Structure 1
Amino acid sequence: MSKIILITGASRGFGKIWAKALLERGDKVAATARNTADLNDLVEAYGDAVFPLQLDVNDRDACFSVVEKVKQHFGRIDVLINNAGFGLFGAIEETTEQQARAQMETNFFGLLWVTQAIVPVMREQQAGHIIQVSSFLGLVSLPVLGLYNASKYAVNGLSETLAQEVKGFGINVSLIEPNGFSTDWSGASAIQTAPLEAYAPVKKAFFDASTPDSWGKPEATVPAVLALIDSPKPPLHFLLGKVALPGVKQVYAERLAEFDEWAKVAVNAHGH
């Protein structure tokens, strides 16, 4: 039986790649973009199996309206892939208020609004799968991506809580946590802060550490994402790519060692 899948940010990158793969195998996809012209290729190739919708996820009312339209159009929504987002590159000191707020508005609040809109639909169905596109930078952090890190840490905290709240309604929650992939996220879709010379060494070290091999091929994610969607017991955390897991393991080992080092001091602070 084909699935009804709502994908935000389907105009390019992961969203477009996954939408095509799902349509190719016979699923029906409600695809959103800020500009629906970016979805014309999907409509031309797959016809009525695609339901293109204009959406700026920063508009909470529009998120609720789009979800209602999808429900009316297809009758149900089996899977949400909350994919809309962008990268902000720059040191924290360099980041303007407008840049910081825009990063959180789209990556966190936009995801929250779509989530809030979809939960009542899936709760009524007593079934559904909410897939939040986060990052391995929602588990560990890197310099030069401070606000992006913060937005994905927020997405992870929200989604871990959501999973506990909606489990009884038959709703699964998964966090896709990719390492770096060669999408527009780090290119045309990215925003850059105005540089301060003081951070030049930090940035050089960050970019020098990046090799072509450390960036995954976006098209290669398709089998993994289809397996996630089709799993009867999908994981809450799903690290994507070969760099994410060893990186997270190393940071968590260091974190646990630091907790242990300070454990006596910390426990004594309890008072009894």
Structure 2
Amino acid sequence: MPNARTWFITGASRGLGRAFAEAALSAGEHVVAAARDVEPLAELAEKYPDDLVRLTLDVSDRRAVFEAVERAAAAFGRLDVVVNNAGGLLYGMVEEATEEQIRDHLDVNFFGAVWVAQAVIPHLRAQGSGRILQVTSMGSSGGMASVGFYGAGKAALDSVSEALAMEVEQFGIRVTNVQMGGYATGLFTAGTTATTPDPAYETLRAQLAEMWGEDAGPDPSTAAPVIMKLAELPEPPRRLIVGSRSYDLVQEMNEARVDQYRTWEPLSRMAPG
């Protein structure tokens, strides 16, 4: 397809990454799909033999990320849309998590996205254009019991990406934090590392399970049109909530936070800083 863009998508073998890859391919775009296991993409590779390149990649390995980006840029001659989607979930209370679990989690959810951004920026700067879509979360503005480290990684990525957006805008590169709502991505199954439960938190776990229920959320494919539209905008937002229900929830959380600040305003103003 003339003028087809090249997408580089991490975590592309399932969930949102897979949905974004399928949407881009069906629109006639080129896709370099990266994942630890690319075998689930075999069917897509057969359907789009000229437009899809699969790369095995662990984003926590910085050297491997840079090598993969070089191969991705060479595959179709350029990179246009980079989707930092690879991630997982560390489920458990803060006290329960081991040092290894915490570091492994942030190596993928935060550092992995940073390595990808560092690797692609020289290519995008050289061509004077490009989009970086950082897949974060609707909950990245605050913590939630049992998924605190997931929120921490996404919040860190949100913050770094806002700085990155300011830094690279001068080069024609646009960065957007794509704050995803809840979708049936398999994050709570295949993508989950769980802590060893401490009985002290048994009551809270039961309360959280009841609050969340069993609804896994809509199919990831329903979010893909938003991403396709976002990638076309000449002046995209730096933050975008994806999901109607999630938009309402985020607004409620923001309003509650503002109310709390106002309640304690006299105490805040006791200090001159």
Give the structure-1-normalised TM-score: 0.95
Partner of 2:81: 79
Partner of 1:190: 192
User: Pick from 142, 145, 164: which aligns with 2:166?
Assistant: 164
* Deviates most, 31-40 or 52-61: 31-40
Q: Does 1:89 align with 2:91?
A: yes
Q: Is the 8 A contact 2:5 2:80 kept in 1?
A: yes
1:157-187 CA-partner distances (Å, limit 9, x unpaired)? 1111111111111111111111221111111
The alignment-based identity, stated in percent, is 37
Shift, 1:191, TM fit: 1.1
2:16 and 2:162 map into 1 onto residues whose CA distance is 22
Q: Is the 8 A contact 1:175 1:236 kept in 2?
A: yes
2:152 and 2:96 map into 1 onto residues whose CA distance is 15
Partner SS state of residue 132, structure 1: strand
Partner of 1:259: 261
Partner of 2:146: 144
Structure 2: which 5+ residue stretches go unaligned? none
1:180-229 CA-partner distances (Å, limit 9, x unpaired)? 21111111221111101111121111111124557222121121111111
Shift, 1:69, TM fit: 1.3
1:91-142 CA-partner distances (Å, limit 9, x unpaired)? 1111111111111000000000001001111111111000011111212332
Partner of 2:71: 69
1:110 and 1:267 map into 2 onto residues whose CA distance is 40
| Alignment-mate amino acid for residue 39 of structure 1 | L
Q: Is the 8 A contact 2:138 2:246 kept in 1?
A: yes
Q: Does 1:236 align with 2:247?
A: no
Partner SS state of residue 29, structure 1: strand
Q: Is the 8 A contact 1:64 1:113 kept in 2?
A: yes
* Deviates most, 167-176 or 257-266: 257-266
1:225-253 CA-partner distances (Å, limit 9, x unpaired)? 11111111212111112332222212211
Shift, 1:266, TM fit: 2.5
Q: Does 1:249 align with 2:251?
A: yes
* Deviates most, 221-230 or 204-213: 204-213
Shift, 1:49, TM fit: 0.5
* Deviates most, 6-15 or 228-237: 228-237
Q: What is the total number of aligned residue pairs between the two structures?
A: 271
Q: Is the 8 A contact 1:214 1:243 kept in 2?
A: no
Partner of 2:107: 105
2:244 and 2:219 map into 1 onto residues whose CA distance is 11
1:246 and 1:198 map into 2 onto residues whose CA distance is 33
Runs of 4+ in 1 over 4 A off after TM superposition: none
RMSD between aligned residues:
1.5
2:96 and 2:49 map into 1 onto residues whose CA distance is 46
Q: Does 1:206 align with 2:202?
A: no
1:180 and 1:244 map into 2 onto residues whose CA distance is 7
1:170-185 equivalences in 2 (<5 Å): 170-185=172-187
| Alignment-mate amino acid for residue 48 of structure 2 | Y
| Alignment-mate amino acid for residue 263 of structure 2 | E
Q: Is the 8 A contact 2:23 2:225 kept in 1?
A: no
Q: Is the 8 A contact 1:179 1:216 kept in 2?
A: no
Give the structure-2-normalised TM-score: 0.95
| Alignment-mate amino acid for residue 136 of structure 1 | M
Partner of 1:27: 29
